[in-house]
Amino acid sequence: MSTIFEKIINREIPAEILYEDSVCIAIRDVAPQAPTHALVIPKKPIPRIGEAQEDDVETIGRLLLVAAKVAHAERLDNGFRIVINNGDHGGETVPHLHVHVIGGRQMSWPPG
């Protein structure tokens, strides 16, 4: 069964696309936790960061570089947070690796 992210990648579900290349897609989160909240999603379905393999290293690196590119394009010059959730206790709700880019307000610590 396809995840919501696979359906977005395949254009079965609409999304506001902020960036796309051959490795990943960045979309605006439909339930934002800050004024700016984007998701960077690999096109290759990796269930979660805890299940990534050695051959996923370039994909994971690309996700982080694109996250920074999205933050720059969204003018998050005062800073931003990158979050990757893993598993139920980590807050993961979709079993497809994705990077949250969150900004536009002061972030607090600890995060949750």
Q: How far apart are CA 109 and CA 104, in angstroms?
A: 16
pLDDT digits (tens, 9 = 90+) for 4-40: 999 999 999 999 999 999 999 999 999 999 999 999 9
What strands, in cross-sheet order, belong to the sheet with 99-103? 17-20, 24-28, 36-42, 99-103, 80-83
Point out the residues that are catalytic.
Answer: 98
Q: What was the pLDDT predicted at 110?
A: 87
Specify the pTM: 0.95
**Domain covering 4-103 assigned CATH 3.30.428.10 in the classification:** yes
- Residue holding tokens 């607090």? 108
pLDDT digits (tens, 9 = 90+) for 31-72: 999 999 999 999 999 999 999 999 999 999 999 999 999 999
Asked if 92 and 83 touch (Cβ cutoff 8 Å), the reply is no
Omega within 30 of 0 (cis) for the link into 110: yes
